């Protein structure tokens, strides 16, 4: 294995460790994964199209990625500024807001995809 392959393997290992850390320590991440699993089941039941799956994957990935970035920022702020500080609070609030925006976007996309399918059944 050459040096570049070794570095890529190490980077991939670190990424998996990061995902594992968030899974173990962040309840909201696990809730987002649970919601994603429910959406996947609903998608198979509703027979969503390839394009609809693409949008589901994109917004789901966005939610999970913003949740991980939020978690990383919270850890960093807690490490750098353990005492309560207005700037530290603002940083955490802004990061949490990014998760909220991505989750709301996922809800909108999910509604656009699933509401017509549910209405067809009713």
Per-residue model confidence as pLDDT tens digits over 37-90: 999 999 999 999 999 999 999 999 999 999 999 999 999 999 998 888 999 999
To the nearest whole number, what is the mean pLDDT of the chain?
94
Band (11; pLDDT cuts 50, 70, 90): confident
Number of domains in the chain: 1
pTM: 0.88
Range of the domain at 87: 3-121
69: CATH:
1.10.287.3610
What is the b/e burial string over 16-29, where b = at least 16 CB atoms within 10 angstroms of the residue's CB? eeeeeebeeebeeb
Specify the residue for token string 């353990």: 82
Question: Nearest CA to 55 among 115, 111, 117?
Answer: 111
**CA pseudo-torsion sign 17, 19, 23, 25:** positive
Active-site entry in 5, 26, 52, 67 = 67
Let me know if 67 is a catalytic residue.
Answer: yes
């Amino acid at each position: 294995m050459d040096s570049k392959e070794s570095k890529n393997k190490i980077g991939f290992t670190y990424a998996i460790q990061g995902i594992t850390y968030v899974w173990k320590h962040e309840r909201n991440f696990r809730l987002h994964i649970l919601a994603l699993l429910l959406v996947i089941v609903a998608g198979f039941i509703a027979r969503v199209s390839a394009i609809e799956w693409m949008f589901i994957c994109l917004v789901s990935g966005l939610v999970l990625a913003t949740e991980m970035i939020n978690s990383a920022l919270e850890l960093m702020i807690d490490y750098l500024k353990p005492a309560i500080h207005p700037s530290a609070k603002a940083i955490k609030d802004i990061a949490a807001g990014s998760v909220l925006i991505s989750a709301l976007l996922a809800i909108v996309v999910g509604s656009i995809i699933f509401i017509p399918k549910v209405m067809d059944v009713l």
